[in-house]
């Protein structure tokens, strides 16, 4: 019996190039949190480079653990792990509340260790939430993941620095559009291996095109060291403060919720649905990776949804490809010069490719919703309201400004709020009590009782 595509081992060259695509797709997301937190602390350029390299190194370790697995740890899916952006706000708040800024990173590391260990213990319980994720919920969440990521691509397309004079300039937007067109042309007019690495080729071509416009900076390569190991506890031994621990435990819950949704999404895309056992193993890898990360000066690890779009678009479902990408991240953490090569890719070029990647995630969610029983008005309402709730942080970023900072950690994550809304609405409309209608009745969501005569009568998902 042939191996499932998830367990397929590709030829070395194909494994390496497709693995690099995953690294290119996630690189900006991995390095942004350490750059933001490091700048808030006031780290020197040398320490900031060290912290960034450490986060790449630990992201690689977590990705390898997630894809290859050990014992009951690791989803064994093409699942990328990296530094979660959900922790940036509470970590900068910890920095602001620490008088001696040299103590800030040890306090953060101590809180991450505790949150990771508690999350590891809670994984077997947390995974049971899968029963609350029928297609109407998973489809809504997958769509929301894609929609939530698209503003990131649009931000990249405008440039790396909102304060810069060329932010959103015609040159930056032109580079993004050019990269997008290149990727689309490669996907449309090439076949086989070239088609599968269209994103990587588009990034390389876009970077070369950006050189005459002065948008490509090779300075990081010239300044980077060849070898640099993330020395354990480089910034000091971890310190344990209750307020910081509670804050990052909340982040861990948000992270586990998003990871659960991402695993369900990825399972649909690769045709290996994530069951309770898979989710528990994946959450163990997430949380254990987070607990180990501070040992090497890294932050909390979580799923990277943008890479799900790459899997959906290329249809390369092998977990070994992503494991190879994790290997490259480890090497980058050990070789700052290698890491700086990815940093050369201009942000607008990355933004152009991101439109395709993140849009593919939303499209996968729509495909799932097609099977979700949308001929029932109850399910239409679930999708409508959960998407609306999840989009709030995108369309109205200050909507929850009057809420406490701890609450905003959850509320400002549209994926988490949309996921919770979808689960609760599914329980209310499809499980609690009687719906009051025949299962095949179809009504317009805004006009109860009005039937849509041409609607199909396929039974809805439970």
Condensed to tens digits (0 to 9), the pLDDT of residues 132-190 reads 778 888 788 778 877 877 887 898 899 877 888 889 899 999 999 999 999 899 888 88
Output helix, strand, coil percentages for the chain, rounded to the nearest 5.
Answer: 70, 5, 25
Judge whether 462 lies within some domain: no
CB 63 within 8 A of CB 302: no
Query: 358-386 burial string, b = 16+ CB within 10 Å, else e?
Result: bbbbbebbeebbeebbbbbbbbbbbbebb
Judge whether 95 lies within some domain: yes
Judge whether 232 lies within some domain: yes
Which residues have a Cβ under 8 Å from the Cβ of 59 and sit 6 or more positions away? Answer: 26, 30, 81, 82, 83, 298, 301, 326, 329
- Residues of the chain short of pLDDT 50, as ranges, are 435-462
Judge whether 222 lies within some domain: yes
DSSP SS3 for 451: strand
Question: Which among 156, 137, 167, 196 is positioned nearest to 387, based on CA atoms?
Answer: 137
Structure confidence at residue 436 (pLDDT): 44
Structure confidence at residue 276 (pLDDT): 87
Give how many domains the chain has, as a whole number.
1
Structure confidence at residue 61 (pLDDT): 93
Which residues have a Cβ under 8 Å from the Cβ of 220 and sit 6 or more positions away? Answer: 340, 343, 344
Exposed/middle/buried for residue 8 (C-beta within 10 Å: 0-12, 13-18, 19+): middle
Judge whether 374 lies within some domain: no
Judge whether 409 lies within some domain: no
Q: How far apart are CA 376 and CA 441, in angstroms?
A: 7
DSSP SS3 for 442: coil
Please state the separation of Cα 412 from the chain's center in Å: 15
**Which alpha helices (H) appear in 42-134, and where do they start and end?**
45-68, 88-97, 104-126
Judge whether 78 lies within some domain: yes
To 10 degrees, what angle do helices 242-269 and 88-97 make? 170
Q: How far apart are CA 63 and CA 301, in angstroms?
A: 9
pTM above 0.75, yes or no: no
Judge whether 207 lies within some domain: no
Q: 286 is in which domain, residue-wise?
A: 5-133+189-198+212-348
């Amino acid at each position: 019996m042939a191996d499932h595509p998830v367990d397929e081992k590709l030829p070395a060259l194909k494994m390496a190039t497709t693995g690099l695509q995953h690294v290119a797709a996630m690189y900006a997301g991995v390095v942004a949190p350490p750059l933001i937190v490091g700048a808030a602390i006031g780290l020197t350029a040398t320490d900031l480079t060290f912290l960034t390299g450490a986060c790449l190194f630990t992201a690689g370790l977590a990705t390898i653990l997630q894809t290859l697995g050990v014992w009951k740890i690791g989803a064994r899916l093409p699942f990328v792990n990296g530094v979660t952006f959900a922790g940036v706000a509470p970590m900068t708040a910890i920095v602001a509340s620490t008088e001696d800024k040299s103590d800030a990173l040890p306090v953060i590391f101590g809180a991450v260790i505790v949150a990771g260990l508690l999350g590891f213990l809670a994984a077997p319980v947390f995974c049971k939430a899968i029963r609350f994720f029928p297609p109407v919920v998973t489809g809504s969440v997958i769509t929301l993941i894609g929609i939530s990521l698209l503003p990131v691509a649009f931000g990249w397309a405008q440039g790396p620095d909102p304060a810069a004079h060329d932010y959103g300039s015609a040159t930056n937007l032109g580079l993004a559009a050019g990269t997008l067109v290149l990727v689309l042309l490669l996907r449309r007019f090439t076949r086989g291996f070239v088609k599968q690495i269209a994103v990587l080729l588009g990034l390389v071509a876009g970077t070369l095109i950006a050189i005459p416009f002065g948008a490509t900076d090779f300075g990081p390569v010239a300044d980077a060291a060849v070898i640099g190991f993330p020395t354990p506890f480089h910034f000091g031994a971890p310190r344990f403060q209750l307020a910081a621990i509670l804050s990052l435990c909340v982040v861990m819950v948000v992270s586990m919720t998003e990871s659960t949704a991402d695993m369900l999404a990825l399972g649909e895309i690769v045709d290996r649905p994530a069951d309770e056992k898979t989710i528990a193993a994946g959450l163990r890898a997430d949380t254990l990776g987070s607990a180990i990360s501070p040992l090497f000066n890294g932050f909390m690890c979580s799923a990277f949804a943008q890479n799900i779009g790459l899997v959906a678009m290329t249809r390369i479902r092998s977990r070994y490809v992503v494991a190879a990408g994790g290997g490259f991240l480890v090497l980058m953490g050990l070789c700052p010069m290698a890491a700086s090569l990815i940093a050369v890719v201009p942000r607008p070029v990355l933004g152009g490719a991101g439109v395709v990647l993140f849009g593919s995630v939303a499209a996968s969610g729509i495909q799932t919703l097609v099977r979700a029983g949308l001929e029932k008005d109850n399910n239409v309402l679930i999708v409508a309201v959960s998407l609306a709730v999840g989009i709030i942080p995108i369309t109205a970023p200050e909507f929850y400004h009057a809420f406490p900072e701890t609450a905003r950690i959850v509320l400002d994550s549209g994926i988490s709020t949309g996921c919770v809304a979808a689960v609760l609405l599914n329980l209310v409309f499809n499980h609690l009590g009687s719906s009051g209608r025949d299962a095949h009745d179809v009504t317009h969501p805004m006009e109860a009782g009005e039937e849509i005569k041409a609607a199909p009568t396929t039974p809805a998902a439970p």
